[in-house]
Amino acid sequence: MIYKLDKKDYPRIKGLLQSSDQKNDLTLNSIINGMNRGTIYVDNPQEPKTALIDVTGVISIFIGDPTNKKFIDDLRDFLDSQLKIDTYESCGGTWFIAVVKDEKWEQLLENVIADREYEKDYECYYQFNPEIFSSLKEKYKSLPDNYHIKKINKEVIENDPDGILSEVLEEVWYSIEDFNTYGLGYCITKDNKVLSACYSCCVHENKHEISVETYDEKYMNKGLATLVCSAYLEDCIKNGLMPQWSTMETNFGSKRLAKKLGFEFKSKLKTLEFEWQ
């Protein structure tokens, strides 16, 4: 069987982090340490040898022994009987996306999902260069009149008439209080309506993964995402935080924005993905 691990037992899988990349991985550590939302599934709750880390119903990361029959033999049924349901309930997700860390896991997962119509892509990882950011920001458009950039805090969240901020933050944080204590975020508003926001979706030590979105189509492509991210990055520089950016290789808009903000491509990992039926 594959078991859902209790949150208090998440540290039990730390021994499965083998490479330096895994041991320093922002997303893995933020979930294992209980900072950000995520679900961990294992072959043995007491002494796990293999684990699946589900990142808020968005991506799945596999670590540990890829030859562990106790885990692998049940994986195909587990995807439909539990992960599909948990993914939808956690965030309304309708896709399975696995980030493949090595060739052994790639071969194994391709065998498990061989009967499905799946696609391949890459998750791209970027590193922030503050000097490039400083040289680029003077070219950004000015914020239009009647628009305001605000740091996301308790007051801003409580005064958000549509509840957008609390909704998106509670998808990745266990509570708004946790976000206010450990996270960072900025938003752009007009008449108190939140139009765009940039916030920490994963935090480990001084490393912060960025999530950014503009919530109304009529406000897209107006430079709002650039400006709200710029405010976020200025705060990171001021307080010694290390912002990180990742996106799918086929998400051209996100890649353009990353470059515009001074992020430089660092590496990429293959992904396997399919839509739940």
In angstroms, the Cα distances linking 77 to 1, 69, 73, 131 are 10, 14, 9, 49
In the predicted structure, residue 34 carries a pLDDT above the cut 90: yes
For β-strands 193-204 and 242-248, DSSP reports them as unpaired
CA distance 247 to 43: 30
What pLDDT is recorded for position 93? 85
pLDDT band at 127 (very low <50, low <70, confident <90, very high): very high
pLDDT band at 277 (very low <50, low <70, confident <90, very high): confident
Amino acid letter, residue 87: T
Which residues does residue 197 pair with via DSSP β-bridges, in sequence order? 187, 213
Closest alpha carbon to 210 in 261, 244, 258, 171: 244
Closest alpha carbon to 202 in 236, 240, 256, 243: 243
Q: What tens digit of pLDDT does each residue of 39-48 get?
A: 999 999 999 9
| For residues 174-184, average pLDDT | 97
CA distance 56 to 173: 10
Q: Which domains does the chain have, with CATH numbers?
A: 3-116 (3.40.630), 126-268 (3.40.630.30)
Q: What tens digit of pLDDT does each residue of 50-89 get?
A: 999 999 878 999 999 999 999 999 999 999 999 999 988 8
Q: Which residue has the tokens 């490039």?
A: 132
Q: What tens digit of pLDDT does each residue of 207-229 get?
A: 999 999 999 889 998 999 999 99
- Over the range 153-192, which residues count as b (16 or more CB within 10 Å of their CB) and which as e? eeebbeebeeebbeebbebbbeebebbbeebbbbbbbeee
Closest alpha carbon to 183 in 151, 161, 150: 151
